[in-house]
Amino acid sequence: MTRVNIVTAVAVLLCLGIPASAQQAPPAGDAAQGKKDMVTYYCYSCHGYAAEGAEEGPRIDTNKWTQANFAAYVRKGGRSMPRYGGEKQIPDAALANIYAFLKARPANPDPQSLPLLNGK
């Protein structure tokens, strides 16, 4: 997914008009289960096993996404993102677990710190 698609995705979320403060906070999920749910519901096939991002699916950055916005986007879908509209596609509990897993991931290293990305 390109940077344009990420911008589109964020715009879609804003259009959903879901201010976090207006909602009840969704229940927190289980990070360990969330890692498994990434596979069960095939999130990994586009985004990678830890949603670190790939050509088909961008990195899901939980600094930019609240749990509510994240869940709403998955339910609605986007230009390239399939619509997981209901419990049959992915239960609310699994969405919470996946979000918890994403939140608990270590940050990506700074590319400047990686010699293999700084050589000629």
Quote the least distance from Cβ 25 to another protein, whole Å: 26
List the structure tokens of 50. Answer: 């830890």
Q: Does 27 bind another protein (CB under 8 A)?
A: no
| Type of residue at 111 | P
Q: What's the closest the beta carbon of residue 84 comes to another protein, in angstroms?
A: 5
> Exposure pattern of 103-112 as b/e (b: 16+ CB <10 Å)?
beeeeeeeee
- Taking CA atoms, 26 is separated from 38, 55, 56, 64, 95, in Å, by 19, 30, 28, 17, 10
Show the binding pattern over residues 62-81: x = contacts another protein (CB under 8 A), - = does not: ---------------x----
Please name the amino acid found at residue 50: A
Site for another protein in 41-60 (CB under 8 A): 41-42, 44-46, 48-50, 52-57, 59
Q: How many angstroms separate the CA atoms of 47 and 77, rounded?
A: 14
Residue type, 28: A
Q: Give yes or no for residue 108 binding another protein (CB under 8 A).
A: yes
Least Cβ distance, residue 22 to another protein (angstroms): 28
Give the residues lining the site for another protein (CB under 8 A). 3, 40-42, 44-46, 48-50, 52-57, 59, 77, 82-86, 88-90, 108-111, 114, 116-117, 119-120
